[in-house]
Amino acid sequence: MKNLLYICLLCLTVIACKDEDSIQTFFVEHQEQPSYSLVDISKTLIDFSTADLTEDERNAYNSLDKLHVLMYKATDSTQDSYNKELKQIQKVFKNPDYSELMAFSSAGMKFKINSIGEENIVDEVLVLASANSMGFAAIRVLGEDMSPEKIAALIYKMKDANLDNNKLKGIIDFLK
Over the stretch 65-96, which tens digit does the pLDDT of each residue have? 888 999 998 888 888 999 999 999 999 999 99
Q: Is residue 17 a contact partner of residue 23, using CB atoms and an 8 Å limit?
A: no
Contacts of 142 (CB under 8 A, 6+ apart): 64, 65, 66, 67, 68, 123, 124
Over the stretch 31-40, which tens digit does the pLDDT of each residue have? 999 889 998 8
- At residue 18, the pLDDT reads 47
Q: Above 90 in pLDDT, residue 155? A: no
Give φ, ψ of 73 to 5 degrees. Answer: -90, 130
- At residue 61, the pLDDT reads 84
Q: Above 50 in pLDDT, residue 21? A: yes
Over the stretch 110-154, which tens digit does the pLDDT of each residue have? 999 888 888 778 888 899 999 988 899 999 989 888 887 777 777
| Selected residue with higher pLDDT from 51 and 86 | 86
Indicate yes or no: pTM above 0.85: no
Q: Is residue 147 a contact partner of residue 60, using CB atoms and an 8 Å limit?
A: yes
- Across the chain, mean pLDDT equals 79
| Selected residue with higher pLDDT from 13 and 88 | 88
Q: How far is CA 151 from the centre of its chain?
A: 14
pLDDT band at 158 (very low <50, low <70, confident <90, very high): low
- At residue 60, the pLDDT reads 84
